[in-house]
Amino acid sequence: MTNNPHFPLMLTPLKLRHNELKNRVIMGAMHTRLEAAPNGAQRLAEFYAERAKGGVGLIITGGYAPNMAGHLEMNGPILNERAQIDDHQIITNAVHEAGGKILLQILHTGRYGGTLKTVAPSAIRAPISPLTPKALEPAQVEQTISDFSTCAQLAHDAGYDGVEIMGSEGYLINQFTAARTNQRDDKWGGSADNRHRFPLEIVRAIRANIPDEFIIMYRISSLELVEDGATGKEILSLAKDIEQAGADILSTGIGWHEARIPTIAYMVPRGTWSFAAKRIKDAVNIPVVASNRLNTPETVEEVLREGHGDLAYLARPLLADPDFVNKAAAGERDQINICIACNQACLDYIFKAKTATCLVNPRAGQESALQITPAEHPKRIAVIGGGSAGMAAASIAGARGHTVILFEASEQLGGQLQLARKVPGKDEFDELLRYFKNQLDTHNVEIRTGVAANVQMIMDENFDEIIIATGVTPRQIELDGIDHAKTVTYTQILSGEKNCGDNVAIIGAGGIGFDVADFLSVLKSDDRSPKAFLSDWGVDQGLEIKGGLSPQGPSLEQSPRQITLLQRTSGKPGRSLGFTTGWALMKALKRRGVNILTGVTYEHIVDEGLQIELEGEKTIIPADTIVICAGQESQTSLHEELSMAGVSTHIIGGAAQAGELDALRAISQGYNLALKL
């Protein structure tokens, strides 16, 4: 063990075959789409090199297909020809020069593929894909094994320290190992031994053709969370056989992409899944890597201390802060920018075919374009508004050597983040608030809370630059009876200024309407432990049940109040929610009995509740509280007054644009503006 006083287990080196990893933190595979961007290899090299410099023990690339049929999408990442090696060498050289080690992940999507060439063990369409795959012929199965081996050979020649074979998350290898997707009656299907043959042959083929020091990591599906998925016993048997076949290390994946249990979203408590890694660790003699929702050094240290894994696999937390390991080692835990598990700028961006970045770290993926350099002419800058846009602008301006004064009208910094942190699971925003406050302090930003800046005050202080980040106010709506005592705004509810009765109608089913429904439908005694999460979502921790889904299914939680969430537009509710998190929130609300009505016309607020028209009929939603979640309006009065006084300003965040207000855009605008001043 190291004698580092902060996180001794996390920082202990590990011998791996003929290599030594300098600590137990692995930057896990994550698709970024950077390779598809102009100058992609160079940008990937900068992206990974920055993480290597930040001290991470090992980096795994995003997945590369071993052949055309394994593509995620047309022109997706692939390594199947020698001509592609040059680009990879740019990456491996950069990482090695930065003192890091890097493995290439080989990922064959199977039926999750987005091209017409999609194949699988059997011709069964995935519930999350519009494409039915072609069943692989026996000769094609052999060829695919050979393609994995060729890909590993090319990775070796490109300078990678090894490969990770993606056998998890429901991709092709997983489709072979599970009866759910493998209905073959040849030697590749039927019994568990037959279903396991495909990954075992892949590992053997790679080991046979590669020099001894080359690392083979196998990502094993440690809990499938789908019907007819593998039992725990089958998984342990596969793990032992994979070790025998020649793998050096096992990383553990949780859940297939088509699983309907959230595995990495904000509502999943930290460290929830490490029990599944422990089962494997207890069964094999090679190191095992725990994964999913390990976003802080404390969580990693605890997982290692509890013996749930030998290493930890962190993907998004290294997007959020490339210096995660070095800061932890230096005793600077408070300076780490922690991933809040929102998925907004990483996974949700990937699904929108955009390049991944990070809500809390806009530099992610733009390492050379967004350099924080000292200002040529240090200035005196006023930032008005201490929400996410203002805090981002002030801290980056301060980091560049400007003299910055941050005005905040309320008694505390945070703006909308102070409300968001009240939503179940979004208490991860506390980490962002803590990070910003430390950054402001480190960069000597003068903070004036409880000061509502006005024109005279700003003009008196002779600022060189004025940044308006005054945020938003809840939109007031016109409706008969809106002044009724039972009407409240979402800010009053989330801030605790007002309480709710037993029957609640929520006007507006945007992101905040859903968050308010979530906030109001959990019990005050809500247990946020991993154990409670697993029980609520119906996860069985035994070894016998297929897919790890308990026969009782998810528990029916009882909301402490009757809640109706309403929207005027017809069509599916929840469309504005995050692609990778919204479905889980919808499921949780359904379990708690929250009623969602679409296509309604609001008529009056009356003593009994909210009168609406729905499908041509008038009805009253009984309610003793009506919460208005109808979006926001920009707070621009100071901006306008300064303009009228002839003072020029920069306007960012919700003050610039209230529609589709979100922390991602606010932080990124603050950050980018401060780099230009």
Q: Does 344 bind ligand SF4 (CB under 6 A)?
A: yes
The tokens describing 388, both together, are 């996410």
Q: Which residues of 340-362 are buried (b: 16+ CB within 10 A; e: fewer)?
A: bbbbbbbbbbbeeeebbbbbbbb
For the segment 353-382, give every residue that binds ligand SF4 (CB under 6 A): 358-360
Q: Does 576 bind ligand NAP (CB under 6 A)?
A: yes
Q: Does 415 bind ligand NAP (CB under 6 A)?
A: no
Contact 459, 645 (CB under 8 A): yes
Q: Which of 64, 112, 160, 171 is catalytic?
A: 171
Q: How far is CA 14 from the centre of its chain?
A: 27
Q: Does 585 bind ligand SF4 (CB under 6 A)?
A: no
How many CA atoms within 13 Å lie on the side-chain side of 442?
16
Encoded one letter per residue, x for contact with ligand NAP by CB under 6 A and - for no contact, window 648-667 reads ------------xxx-----
Q: Does 578 bind ligand NAP (CB under 6 A)?
A: yes
The C-alpha atoms of residue 657 and residue 41 are separated, in whole angstroms, by: 35
The DSSP string of 169-232 is TTSHHHHHH-TTT----STTSSSHHHHHHHHHHHHHHHHHTS-TTSEEEEEEEEE--STT---H
Q: Which of 96, 568, 587, 604 binds ligand NAP (CB under 6 A)?
A: 568
List Cα–Cα distances, 481 to 196, 606, 618, in angstroms. Answer: 65, 6, 16
In terms of CB distance, is 362 or 385 closer to ligand SF4?
362
Encoded one letter per residue, x for contact with ligand NAP by CB under 6 A and - for no contact, window 548-567 reads -------------------x
Element housing 312 (H / E): strand 311-314
Q: Does 507 bind ligand NAP (CB under 6 A)?
A: yes
**Among ligand NAP, ligand SF4, none, residue 358 binds (CB under 5-8 Å by kind):** ligand SF4
The C-alpha atoms of residue 549 and residue 323 are separated, in whole angstroms, by: 37
Kindly determine how many residues on this chain lie close enough to bind ligand NAP according to the rule CB under 6 A: 23
The tokens describing 311, both together, are 């290493």
The tokens describing 75, both together, are 């022109």
- The answer to whether residue 171 is catalytic is yes
Stretch of 58-66, 382-390, 511-519, 525-533 contacting ligand NAP, by CB under 6 A? 511-519
**Among ligand NAP, ligand SF4, none, residue 392 binds (CB under 5-8 Å by kind):** none
β strands within 533-660, DSSP E: 562-566, 595-597, 600-606, 609-614, 617-622, 625-628, 632-634, 650-651
In terms of CB distance, is 104 or 345 closer to ligand SF4?
345
The C-alpha atoms of residue 179 and residue 220 are separated, in whole angstroms, by: 16
Least spacing, CB of residue 470 vs ligand NAP, in Å: 16
Stretch of 337-345, 388-396, 448-456, 475-483 contacting ligand SF4, by CB under 6 A? 337-345
The C-alpha atoms of residue 136 and residue 501 are separated, in whole angstroms, by: 59
Q: Which of 172, 320, 404, 638 binds ligand SF4 (CB under 6 A)?
A: 320
Q: Does 418 bind ligand NAP (CB under 6 A)?
A: no
Q: Does 217 bind ligand SF4 (CB under 6 A)?
A: no
User: Using CB under 6 A as the criterion, which residues of the chain lie in contact with ligand SF4 when the complex forms?
Assistant: 316, 319-320, 339-346, 358-360
Catalytic residues: 171
User: Using CB under 6 A as the criterion, which residues of the chain lie in contact with ligand NAP when the complex forms?
Assistant: 475, 477, 507-508, 510-515, 567-569, 576-578, 629-632, 660-662
